[in-house]
């Protein structure tokens, strides 16, 4: 270095006889010839204790005799003298404060930018008090240890820092990606997460959207208690977003603010208090895509931290902003068609043929106008009742009409007749005014409701000549998510459609505000449907790319929850949403042509159209028709009491009969009594049907009675792990409450991800998604939905009200006892499920499964549903068995032993009953043994045999006598009538025994002979015997 002092020993005494090098062109003797350089003095300016590099200032010699009046040369700049080879310049080090001691004091020390580069640094000096701080717009000058105002084009927070530029991660920030910890109970980790980090995108930093855990970290040491604040957009609950703070012991603080709320209306502000000392800030996201849909990222910007006590420098304004005055605490964005660079004190206007959006860093050349840069609309009706088709440039207008081949704005069309007013309104004073109370209108004129009727209040829009006063429209930027203050929807007579935004990824916003509702009767606490109103709209989507239309509902201006989304082209169709809470409501339609940002407008022909909007029961609404009601003496109408329906004939209220419930909403006309489904009963107020945990089932000539009160309490079922397309594990959590509770739905599923307070969904059957990682208070539960808001019936049939429960989905049950099936339907209507989600629960008997039993889903549909709309469950439990009756057991009769016979009753196997009737006691009765009856039988048989033998002997002897008599008669007759022809061998021949058997012409059996004896006996006591002559003549009777 030129002009430095070398070989100088640091001392406060003048140095004599040392060799000095001075700056070129300067000589200490130049103005005084008698002075020598050795007579100049060196005084230290700054030094460090280690004896390294020191800064010295050369002073003139003391006044010498005879040298008065000499002219001294100008003083040289400070010179450096070193006892080591290093050289320390002020640009090579900076100042910092040491940690505060117990007395609240600290020291200011110089710290080299590169450690070890040199050792000659300024000596430490006592610093300011630890509680010292500068005001906003000021910074602490460390050299002077005083607060100074920031220069123009810069700003400061005084006691804090702000990070609003995200072209890259600011100094001190770190982004890390981790896979799922395998120790959380959900199995293996998701691989390939090294690239899943927070990404800086200019004005903000964006989270990951894949199924990894990305963490943005920043460590800060606060000298006093402070805060951290930031703005964020969190539109998609498919990402788990948490912000938390840890101290230097890695202990989390502000746990109550850890889980962030979703946002629906642009950027939201979040602030957390910080403690004095070390604080590590964490922004952590974990995405999951259960339904194969890439979630929208979390965006964070404008991170500010206070409590650092001071800032040693001011921050330059980022490009697109400026600070015109010194001492600014913030920078202002540049207006439209102006731009600025970094650290600007003002914004420069763009050239005539260029443009810039608000907050732009540079101007862009204007493109030539095309037919996509203008749109059509209708003018308001004039005093003649006419309107005109008009064309206007889309806002903001960035194109130029003066360039070659630029499109020109088409001329306005001819004037046409204005459409009629919307229902409930009538033309008055050149505009449509609401009809007075007690009247109705179809749009042409107001008419009073007839006697015995009342107007049905609501809002119905189907003519779109002007935007209704309770509707507003705007555009939300798809780049920085700021509202632009321009119209996003335009009226077109028969419909309202989306205008052209500044970019194709802008959101076209349309909002309808409703102050509240006036239901005709109080909503009963036990009703299955808490409907107080409904909104129905007819829409159409014309798209060439993957456009999206969101329908969102807000309650009391606090939340704006998306309830339905349509993607791609859609034909003209209707959608209905049921309002279940009486509050100030907002209904919002948001249309985005494409999520990808490109310069210019390419898809302005992609539009969404709303043809009609109808909201019922609006507080202070208008009427398009009147309905029958119960007249009162005052002339007004009164609603029917709960459970009653208006009789059209008599005009009086009549109660719904037992077994029916009141269905329908007054907005549709008049409610009616409808029968309950099989196996259900109506409650006393006839507001719903329910099952009281009992069923009576006729089955094959017998009646089975079921009672299962233990199943009224909700049972839980967690399905096996499922995987998203990236391999993230999740589980479906179901809760089922079959019956009872007088129709009140006992199953509850919660969402504990997006809100600090739980959001609970109740129903007979509900579902939630469980996600890792698990927290100390339990697993993360997200996206709860109801699968059954009302019970349709309890039956053994596999089909009811269009819902089918195929038996083949589950293993077969017992053939003699069918499953009892509970059918439910939800009130939530979705695109794929036009009638709402449905659930079928099969209740199966198994006496060996104690309460609550086993709840399962089909093996081929492990998520509980095969089509996404109908869910199937099998509940096997002893509670599903019928009450035991006499048909469930049989008797077993024992042998007669010792004159006693026993009858024992046993259950039929397998036993398919429980409780009810118990087995009868054993029956004992007297009886006679088998040997007694054997003796009686033998005696009777012996007697009968003896009788038969006696009869046989008697008749045999009688027969011998008859034969003998017969032979005697024959011989006697032959002796008296010798002239007659000799009979053929009728006499006893010589040598024959008189007792020998006679041979007759016709032989008879023994019984035949007995018959002959009884029938042919003559009066004289002899038997007549027919004889046959030898000549063949007729027989002769003797």
Element (H, E) at 748: strand 747-751
Beta-strand ranges (E) seen in 179-276 are 199-200, 205-206, 213-222, 226-233, 239-246, 252-253, 268-274
Q: How far apart are CA 403 and CA 367, in angstroms?
A: 8
990: phi then psi, degrees, rounded to nearest 5 = -65, 135
Mean pLDDT of 463-492: 85
- Write the DSSP symbol of residue 731: E
Residue 910: asked if its preceding bond is cis (omega within 30°), the reply is: yes
Residue among 1022, 1025, 971 at smallest CA distance from 994 = 971
| Distances 392 to 271, 386, 490, 498, 664 between C-alpha atoms, Å | 43, 19, 11, 14, 46
Residue 924, judged by CB atoms within 10 A of its CB (0-12, 13-18, 19+), counts as exposed
Give the model's confidence band at 70: pLDDT under 50 very low, under 70 low, under 90 confident, else very high. Answer: very low
Residue 677 clears pLDDT 80, i.e. is over it: yes
Residue 73 clears pLDDT 50, i.e. is over it: no
| Strands of the sheet with 239-246, listed across from one edge | 173-178, 213-222, 277-287, 239-246, 252-253
pLDDT at 930 (0 to 100):
65
Give the model's confidence band at 71: pLDDT under 50 very low, under 70 low, under 90 confident, else very high. Answer: very low
Q: Mean pLDDT, the chain, as a whole number?
A: 78
Is the pTM higher than 0.75? The answer reads: no
Residue 371 clears pLDDT 80, i.e. is over it: yes
Please list, in sequence order, all residues whose beta carbon lies within 8 angstroms of the beta carbon of residue 911, skipping any fewer than 6 positions away.
847, 888
Mean pLDDT of 952-976: 82
> Poorest-confidence range of 362-371, 646-655, 889-898?
646-655
The three-class DSSP label of residue 666 is: helix
Give the model's confidence band at 981: pLDDT under 50 very low, under 70 low, under 90 confident, else very high. Answer: low
Residue 181 clears pLDDT 50, i.e. is over it: no
Element (H, E) at 945: helix 930-976
Give the model's confidence band at 72: pLDDT under 50 very low, under 70 low, under 90 confident, else very high. Answer: very low
pLDDT at 9 (0 to 100):
35
User: What is the total residue count of the chain?
Assistant: 1038
Mean pLDDT of 68-74: 42
Question: Would you say 430 and 383 are in contact if contact means Cβ atoms under 8 Å apart?
Answer: yes
pLDDT at 212 (0 to 100):
81
Residue 539 clears pLDDT 60, i.e. is over it: yes
How many of the other CB atoms lie within 10 Å of CB of 985? 11
Where does 403-450 have alpha helices with state H?
none
User: What share of the chain has pLDDT > 90, as a percent?
Assistant: 23
Question: Would you say 970 and 983 are in contact if contact means Cβ atoms under 8 Å apart?
Answer: yes
Give the model's confidence band at 49: pLDDT under 50 very low, under 70 low, under 90 confident, else very high. Answer: very low
Residue 36 clears pLDDT 60, i.e. is over it: no
In terms of DSSP bridges, do strands 870-877 and 889-893 run parallel, antiparallel, or are they unpaired? unpaired
User: What share of the chain has pLDDT > 70, as a percent?
Assistant: 77
Question: Would you say 273 and 197 are in contact if contact means Cβ atoms under 8 Å apart?
Answer: no
| Alpha carbon 456 to chain centroid, angstroms | 34
Question: Would you say 227 and 273 are in contact if contact means Cβ atoms under 8 Å apart?
Answer: yes
| Distances 99 to 303, 319, 602 between C-alpha atoms, Å | 25, 36, 59
pLDDT at 666 (0 to 100):
53
Question: Would you say 554 and 561 are in contact if contact means Cβ atoms under 8 Å apart?
Answer: yes
Place of tokens 């709309």: 869
How many of the other CB atoms lie within 10 Å of CB of 837? 26
């Amino acid at each position: 270095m030129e002009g430095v002092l070398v070989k100088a020993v640091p001392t406060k005494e003048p140095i004599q006889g040392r060799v000095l090098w001075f700056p070129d062109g300067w000589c200490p003797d130049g103005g005084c010839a008698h002075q020598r350089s050795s007579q100049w003095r060196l005084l230290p300016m700054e030094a460090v204790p280690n004896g390294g590099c020191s800064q010295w200032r050369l002073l003139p010699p003391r006044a010498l005799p005879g040298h008065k009046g000499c002219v001294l040369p100008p003083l040289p700049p400070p010179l450096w003298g070193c006892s080591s080879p290093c050289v320390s310049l002020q640009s090579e080090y900076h100042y910092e404060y040491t940690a505060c001691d117990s007395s609240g004091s600290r020291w200011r020390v110089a710290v080299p930018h590169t450690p070890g580069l040199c050792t000659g640094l300024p000596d430490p000096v006592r610093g300011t008090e630890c509680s010292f701080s500068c005001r906003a717009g000021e910074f602490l000058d460390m050299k002077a240890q005083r607060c100074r105002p920031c220069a123009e084009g810069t700003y400061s927070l005084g006691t804090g820092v702000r990070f609003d530029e995200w072209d890259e991660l600011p100094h001190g920030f770190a982004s890390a990606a981790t896979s799922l910890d395998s120790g959380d109970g959900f199995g293996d980790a998701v691989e390939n997460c090294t690239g899943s980090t927070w990404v800086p995108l200019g004005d903000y930093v964006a989270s990951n959207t894949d199924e990894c855990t990305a963490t943005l970290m920043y460590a800060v040491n606060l000298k006093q208690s402070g805060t951290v604040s930031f703005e964020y957009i969190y539109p998609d609950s498919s990402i788990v977003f948490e912000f938390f703070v840890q101290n230097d012991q890695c202990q989390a603080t502000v746990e109550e603010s850890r889980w962030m709320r979703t946002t629906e209306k642009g950027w939201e502000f979040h602030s957390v208090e910080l403690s004095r000392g070390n604080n590590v800030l964490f922004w952590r996201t974990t995405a999951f895509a259960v339904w194969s849909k890439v979630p929208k990222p979390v965006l964070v910007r404008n991170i500010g931290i206070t409590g650092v006590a001071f800032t040693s420098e001011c921050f330059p304004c980022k490009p697109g902003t400026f600070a015109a005055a010194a001492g600014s605490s913030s920078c202002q964005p540049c207006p439209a068609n102006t731009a600025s660079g970094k650290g600007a004190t003002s914004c420069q206007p763009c050239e005539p043929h260029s443009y810039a959006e608000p907050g732009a860093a540079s101007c862009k050349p204007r493109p030539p106008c095309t037919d996509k840069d203008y749109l059509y609309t209708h003018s308001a009706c004039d005093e003649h009742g006419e309107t005109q088709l008009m064309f206007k440039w889309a806002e903001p207008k960035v194109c130029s009409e003066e360039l070659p081949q630029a499109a020109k704005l088409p001329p306005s069309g001819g004037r046409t007749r204005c459409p009629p007013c919307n229902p409930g309104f009538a033309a008055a004073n050149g505009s449509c005014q609401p009809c007075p109370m007690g009247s109705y209108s179809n749009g042409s004129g107001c008419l009073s409701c007839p006697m015995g009727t009342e107007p049905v209040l609501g809002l119905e829009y189907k003519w779109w000549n002007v935007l209704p006063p309770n509707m507003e429209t705007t555009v939300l930027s798809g780049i920085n998510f700021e509202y632009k203050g321009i119209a996003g929807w335009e009226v077109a007579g028969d419909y309202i459609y989306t205008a052209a935004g500044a970019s194709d990824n802008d959101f076209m916003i349309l909002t309808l505000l409703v102050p509240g509702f006036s239901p005709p009767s109080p909503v009963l606490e036990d009703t299955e449907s808490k409907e107080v109103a409904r909104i129905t709209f007819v829409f159409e989507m014309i798209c060439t790319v993957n456009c999206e239309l969101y329908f969102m509902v807000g309650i009391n201006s606090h939340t704006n929850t998306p309830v339905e989304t349509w993607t791609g082209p859609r034909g003209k169709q209707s959608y209905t949403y049921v309002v279940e809470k009486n509050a100030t409501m907002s209904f919002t339609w948001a249309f985005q042509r494409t999520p990808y940002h490109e310069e210019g407008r390419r898809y302005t022909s992609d539009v969404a159209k709303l043809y009609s909007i109808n909201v019922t029961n609006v507080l202070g609404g208008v009427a398009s028709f009147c309905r029958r009601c119960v007249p009162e003496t005052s002339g007004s109408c009164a609603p029917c009491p709960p459970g009653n329906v208006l009789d059209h004939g008599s005009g009086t209220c009549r109660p719904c009969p037992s077994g029916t419930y009141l269905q329908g909403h007054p907005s549709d006309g008049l409610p009616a009594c409808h029968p309950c489904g099989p196996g259900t009963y109506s409650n006393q107020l006839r507001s719903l049907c329910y099952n009281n945990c009992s069923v009576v089932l006729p089955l094959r000539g017998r009646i089975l009675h079921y009672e299962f009160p233990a199943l009224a309490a909700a049972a839980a079922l967690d399905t096996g792990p499922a995987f998203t397309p990236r391999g993230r594990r999740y589980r479906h959590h179901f809760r089922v409450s079959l019956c009872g509770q007088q129709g009140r739905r006992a199953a509850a599923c919660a969402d504990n991800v997006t809100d600090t307070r739980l959001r609970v969904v109740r129903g007979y059957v509900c579902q939630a998604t469980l996600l890792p990682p698990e927290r100390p208070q339990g697993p993360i539960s997200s996206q709860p939905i109801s699968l059954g808001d009302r019970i349709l019936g309890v039956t053994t049939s596999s089909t009811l009200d269009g819902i089918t429960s195929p038996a083949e989905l589950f293993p077969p049950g017992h053939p003699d006892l069918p499953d009892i099936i509970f059918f439910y339907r939800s009130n939530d209507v979705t695109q794929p499920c036009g009638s709402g989600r449905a659930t079928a629960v099969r209740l199966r008997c198994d006496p060996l499964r104690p309460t609550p039993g086993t709840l399962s889903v089909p093996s081929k549909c492990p998520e509980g549903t095969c089509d996404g709309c109908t869910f199937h469950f099998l509940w096997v439990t002893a509670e599903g068995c019928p009450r035991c009756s006499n048909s469930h057991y049989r008797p077993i009769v024992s042998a007669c032993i010792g004159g006693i016979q026993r009858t024992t009753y046993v259950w039929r196997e397998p036993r398919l009953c429980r409780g009810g009737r118990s087995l009868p006691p054993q029956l004992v009765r007297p009886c006679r043994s088998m040997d007694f009856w054997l003796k009686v039988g033998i005696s009777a048989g012996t007697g009968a045999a003896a009788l038969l033998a006696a009869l046989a002997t008697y008749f045999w002897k009688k027969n011998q006598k008859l034969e003998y008599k017969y032979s005697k008669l024959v011989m006697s007759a032959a002796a008296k009538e010798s002239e007659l022809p000799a009979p053929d061998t009728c006499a006893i021949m010589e040598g024959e025994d008189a007792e020998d058997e006679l041979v007759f012409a016709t032989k008879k059996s023994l019984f035949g002979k007995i018959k002959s004896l009884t029938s042919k006996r003559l009066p004289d006591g002899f038997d007549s015997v027919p004889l046959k002559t030898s000549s063949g003549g007729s027989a002769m009777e003797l």
